[in-house]
């Protein structure tokens, strides 16, 4: 194709058109910038300087001057919520929802924001209603997660279970707490007046199915231990000690670290059946393979009752030599003093004052005689399946603080 000289006429024309377009863009940008109140830029500057209080005051002024600034409303509401000023955050989002001209996407966003406001303010009923409204929107996943937290805090386990099922339909991920929701449901059924045995059985079967669905190798000992303990409790209500003993013994094999939680009940069943020595031998053998402080205490006390203080102290001496523990020493001194006929073990200095020794040790062991959450560090004297501090599940090790160090 030959070049024609007259084509050069288009070069200055194209250049002129580009220059005009650039001037138009610059003028539009300058006009938009001039239209923004100075308070907007002041607010941004305060945010960059990490002065949220002054930024909020500046943005409030912008919103008063221009009520149509939707995104600024959202930013302002989030700032209020972060500062804990829930009433002001709710008012901001309610003002958005009251606008008839608000686009659908922004309306859904505002509904989700006000649901979060209600949740943080502790207004659970209103938060539940607000999150339910956005369940079929782009905020479905965070809304269902929030509903699960609400139902969990209200101990409404059937609703929590339904919410978990909705979540699993939205995302392909395991929900480990579903096992404990079913266990809570079973426990509530057994505590009812009269106990609902059928509902408890159904809930425990569902818990077993949930454990299998998780399919996490090496994980889930806590869930299996809890299910076995609840089935043992159900057998006890049905006056079936044989089944109760079978379920408690299963904890020793499926969740050996949790033996200390069932040792006393298991020993009592062997004692009621007329085989206390067999029960003691079982627990002592388990301790040799899985040494643990609570189990040590049960074995020592029972050995003291069945065989006297000499074999009991021999066991304690060997155990504490292998696993030194001030808390263990405190426990066995307590058992000796409670027996009423305490005497110094062979080899100890004559006339040793066990009471004084125990009181000295006890001062140092009180802070160690606790379970601790591995997520938030919340400490408690009793074992919990759900941490009272952070509400996480299966975060308590079945071991005392001293054993974790």
Residues making up the binding site for Fe cation? 373, 376, 387, 390
- Which residue intervals of 49-139 are DSSP H helices? 52-65, 70-83, 86-97, 104-120, 124-133
Bridge partners (DSSP) of residue 371 are 380
Residue labelled with tokens 């090496």: 218
Closest listed residue to residue 150, CA positions, set 131, 124, 132, 115: 124
Q: Are 279 and 266 in contact (CB under 8 A)?
A: yes
Q: Which residues are annotated as a binding site?
A: 373, 376, 387, 390
Q: What is the DSSP string of 272-286?
A: HTT-HHHHHHHHHHH
Contacts of 117 (CB under 8 A, 6+ apart): 77, 81, 86, 89, 90, 93
Contacts of 133 (CB under 8 A, 6+ apart): 111, 115
Task: Give, as one character, the DSSP assignment of residue 340.
Answer: S
Give the C-alpha separation, 49 to 390, whole Å. 32
Contacts 24+ apart (CB under 8 A), 259-262: 259/283, 259/286, 259/290, 259/292, 259/295, 260/292, 260/293, 260/294, 260/295, 260/298, 260/398, 261/225, 261/229, 261/294, 261/383, 261/398, 262/225, 262/229, 262/232
C-alpha separations of 73 from 62, 76, 78, 361, 362 in Å: 10, 5, 9, 60, 58
Give the other-Cβ count within 10 Å of 348's Cβ: 12
129 three-class SS: helix
Give the C-alpha separation, 405 to 400, whole Å. 9
The CA radius of gyration of the chain, in Å to the nearest whole number, is 33
Percentages of the chain per state (helix, strand, coil), in multiples of 5: 70, 0, 25
């Amino acid at each position: 194709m030959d070049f024609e000289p007259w084509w050069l006429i288009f070069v200055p024309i194209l250049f002129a058109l580009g220059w005009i377009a650039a001037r138009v863009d610059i003028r539009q940008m300058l006009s938009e910038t001039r239209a923004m109140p100075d308070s907007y830029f002041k607010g941004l500057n305060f945010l960059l300087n990490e002065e949220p209080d002054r930024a909020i005051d500046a943005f409030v002024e912008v919103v008063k001057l221009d009520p149509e600034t939707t995104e600024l409303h959202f930013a302002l509401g989030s700032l209020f919520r972060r500062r804990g000023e829930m009433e002001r955050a709710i008012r901001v989002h309610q003002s958005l929802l009251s606008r008839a001209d608000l686009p659908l996407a922004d309306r859904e966003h505002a509904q989700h924001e006000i649901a979060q406001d209600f949740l943080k303010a502790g207004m659970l009923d209103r938060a539940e209603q607000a999150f339910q409204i956005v369940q079929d929107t782009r905020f479905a996943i965070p809304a269902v997660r929030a509903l699960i937290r609400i139902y969990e805090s209200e101990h409404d386990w059937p609703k929590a279970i339904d919410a978990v099922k909705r979540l699993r339909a939205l995302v392909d991920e395991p929900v480990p707490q579903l096992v404990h929701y079913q266990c809570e449901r079973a426990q509530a059924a057994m505590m009812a007046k009269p106990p609902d045995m059928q509902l408890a059985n159904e809930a425990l079967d569902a818990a077993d199915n949930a454990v299998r669905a998780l399919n996490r190798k090496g994980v889930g000992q806590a869930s299996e231990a809890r299910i076995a303990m609840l089935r043992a409790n159900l057998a006890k209500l049905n006056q079936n000690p044989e089944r109760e003993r079978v379920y408690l013994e299963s904890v020793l094999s499926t969740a050996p670290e949790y033996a200390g939680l069932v040792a006393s009940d298991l020993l009592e069943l062997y004692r009621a059946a007329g085989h206390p020595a067999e029960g003691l031998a079982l627990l002592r053998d388990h301790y040799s393979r899985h040494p643990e402080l609570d189990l040590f205490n049960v074995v020592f006390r029972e050995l003291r009752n069945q065989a006297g203080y000499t074999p009991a102290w021999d066991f304690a001496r060997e155990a504490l030599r292998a696993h030194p523990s001030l808390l263990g020493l405190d426990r066995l001194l307590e058992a000796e003093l409670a027996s009423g006929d305490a005497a110094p073990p062979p080899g100890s200095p004559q006339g040793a004052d066990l009471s004084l020794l125990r009181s000295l040790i006890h001062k140092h062991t009180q802070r160690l005689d606790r379970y601790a959450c591995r997520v938030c560090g919340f400490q408690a004297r009793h074992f919990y399946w759900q941490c009272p501090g952070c509400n996480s599940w299966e975060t308590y090790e079945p071991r005392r603080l001293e054993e974790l160090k």
